């Protein structure tokens, strides 16, 4: 595809667009039809021939290479995980923490990031410091005040789970490098698939994400990038056959490769789906998706600003596809159910998943509308009209 995105084609290949307005991509997004056809083909072959002849190492290698191509890494730096939460736990359990060190997270952190690191801190005698966000934007200079020579890890969010403000992760990385010896980790879960990701440009040590959201891949798969020289230093959380060599009755060796973070069997059909989803996004062009999602994010805010009875929360800085909104006097859960009755699929963002960020804006729940490249202006109009009607019903 050249020029703009072939909307007709991508919508045809996305069944959920046929009879509803699907604006739930920050939570999960269905795989495109050609990707599912590739999965069906491999399942079919396994049914006919058994899995043994299906080049499972090749399937795994292609999935790692696809992730690596997408984020500017090498396949040998990619661990396939079960989720983003699993990935951050591999980091929290994998670093040889020393008591007295500190970890820097941010007010935009997702629950699993905070939980895994708070637990590590409590168990290992570490301190967790929190960089504030101003109008939902992290300022690189604010990291400086939180760094010192005991800072071991900094985790920044590339795209918060509850709002659309893209975070300046490359600039944050520069501040981290200049003012500390800390490891730098980026949570790209809400960015990968809707915004270019480049681990070399970000100069990060770790980066992780998940397949089912903006990448439009399978459920239950995530990935973790670890910068090559760090890999042999990562302590595996679990010990299974990919990670180890059984060298004697009382001895074993942990492999030096990224396989040290792998455990047991993998969902090979889902690896095919992940590879296909990444190639599909790259064929469209991540830069084009980025432009389109920015455009749709702006268009949605402009449309919703005109609707009486709505509250919008992230109008100050640049935006991506996620739009946090509430209908005054209508709980988010009720509004989302009413949207669903009208054929519009969004979801609720709960405080418990982004405690610090939602407390900052004083909301326990938000309606999370999240638009991806295949959504249209006409769908935004339908959404605005529906939310307007819900506001009128709520006010009665």
Ligand X SMILES: Cc1ncc(COP(=O)(O)O)c(C=O)c1O
The residues that touch ligand X, with contacts defined as CB under 6 A, are 83-85, 110, 112, 157, 161, 187, 189-190, 210, 222
Q: How far is the CB of 115 from ligand X (least distance, A)?
A: 11
Give the integer Cα–Cα distance in Å for 103 and 352: 21
When the beta carbons of 106 and 180 are compared against ligand X, the nearer one is 106
Q: How far is the CB of 238 from ligand X (least distance, A)?
A: 17
Indicate the Cα dihedral angle 208, 21, 165, 159, nearest 10°: -10
CA torsion through residues 308, 381, 338, 211, sign: negative
CA proximity to 183, closest of 258, 101, 120, 243:
101
DSSP one-letter code for 21: E
State the burial class of residue 283 (Cβ atoms within 10 Å of its Cβ: 0-12, 13-18, 19+): exposed
Q: Coil, strand, or helix at residue 223?
A: strand
State the burial class of residue 257 (Cβ atoms within 10 Å of its Cβ: 0-12, 13-18, 19+): middle
When the beta carbons of 180 and 270 are compared against ligand X, the nearer one is 270
When the beta carbons of 108 and 234 are compared against ligand X, the nearer one is 108
Helix axes 111-124, 84-94, angle to 10 degrees: 20
Q: How far is the CB of 92 from ligand X (least distance, A)?
A: 13
When the beta carbons of 116 and 180 are compared against ligand X, the nearer one is 116
Residues in the chain: 396
When the beta carbons of 70 and 303 are compared against ligand X, the nearer one is 70
Q: How far is the CB of 85 from ligand X (least distance, A)?
A: 3
Give the integer Cα–Cα distance in Å for 190 and 289: 14
Q: How far is the CB of 204 from ligand X (least distance, A)?
A: 15
Give the integer Cα–Cα distance in Å for 74 and 11: 32
Contact 174, 201 (CB under 8 A): no
When the beta carbons of 126 and 161 are compared against ligand X, the nearer one is 161
When the beta carbons of 14 and 210 are compared against ligand X, the nearer one is 210
How far apart, in Å, do the first and last CA atoms of the chain sit? 49
Q: How far is the CB of 216 from ligand X (least distance, A)?
A: 14
Token representation of residue 248: 């004697």
When the beta carbons of 220 and 318 are compared against ligand X, the nearer one is 220
Cα 371–chain centre separation: 15
Q: How far is the CB of 134 from ligand X (least distance, A)?
A: 19
Q: How far is the CB of 6 from ligand X (least distance, A)?
A: 28
């Amino acid at each position: 595809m050249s020029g703009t995105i072939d909307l007709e084609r991508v919508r045809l290949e996305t069944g959920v667009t046929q009879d509803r307005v699907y604006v739930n991509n920050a939570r999960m997004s269905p795989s495109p039809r050609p990707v599912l056809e590739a999965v069906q083909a491999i399942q079919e072959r396994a049914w006919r021939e058994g899995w043994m002849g299906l080049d499972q190492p090749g399937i795994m290698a292609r999935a790692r290479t696809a992730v690596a191509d997408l984020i500017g890494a090498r396949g040998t730096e990619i661990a396939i995980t079960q989720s983003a939460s699993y990935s951050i736990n591999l980091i929290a359990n994998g670093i040889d923490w020393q008591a007295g060190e500190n970890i820097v997270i941010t007010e935009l952190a997702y629950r699993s990031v905070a939980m895994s690191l708070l637990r590590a801190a409590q168990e290992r005698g570490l301190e967790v410091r929190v960089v504030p966000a101003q109008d939902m934007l992290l300022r690189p200079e604010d990291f400086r005040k939180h760094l010192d020579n005991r800072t071991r890890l900094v985790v920044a969010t590339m795209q918060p789970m509850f709002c659309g403000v893209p975070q300046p992760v490359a600039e944050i990385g520069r501040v981290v490098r200049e003012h500390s010896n800390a490891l730098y980790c980026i949570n790209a879960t809400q960015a990968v698939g809707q915004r270019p990701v480049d681990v070399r440009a970000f100069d990060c040590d770790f980066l992780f994400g998940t397949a089912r959201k903006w990448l439009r891949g399978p459920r239950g798969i995530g990935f973790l990038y670890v910068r090559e020289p760090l890999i042999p230093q990562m302590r595996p959380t679990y010990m299974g056959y990919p990670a180890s060599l059984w060298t004697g009755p009382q001895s074993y060796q942990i492999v030096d490769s990224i396989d040290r973070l792998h455990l047991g069997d993998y969902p090979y059909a889902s690896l095919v789906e992940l590879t296909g989803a990444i190639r599909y996004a790259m064929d469209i062009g991540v830069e084009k998706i980025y432009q389109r999602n920015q455009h749709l994010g702006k268009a949605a805010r402009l449309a919703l600003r005109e609707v009486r009875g709505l509250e919008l929360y992230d109008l100050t800085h640049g935006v991506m596809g996620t739009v946090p909104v509430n209908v005054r006097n209508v709980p988010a859960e009720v509004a989302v159910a009413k949207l669903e009755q009208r054929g519009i699929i969004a979801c609720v963002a709960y405080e418990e998943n982004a405690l610090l960020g939602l407390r900052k804006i004083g909301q326990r729940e938000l309606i999370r509308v999240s638009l991806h490249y295949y959504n249209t202006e006409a769908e935004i109009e339908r959404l605005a009209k529906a939310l307007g009607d819900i506001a009128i019903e709520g006010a009665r």
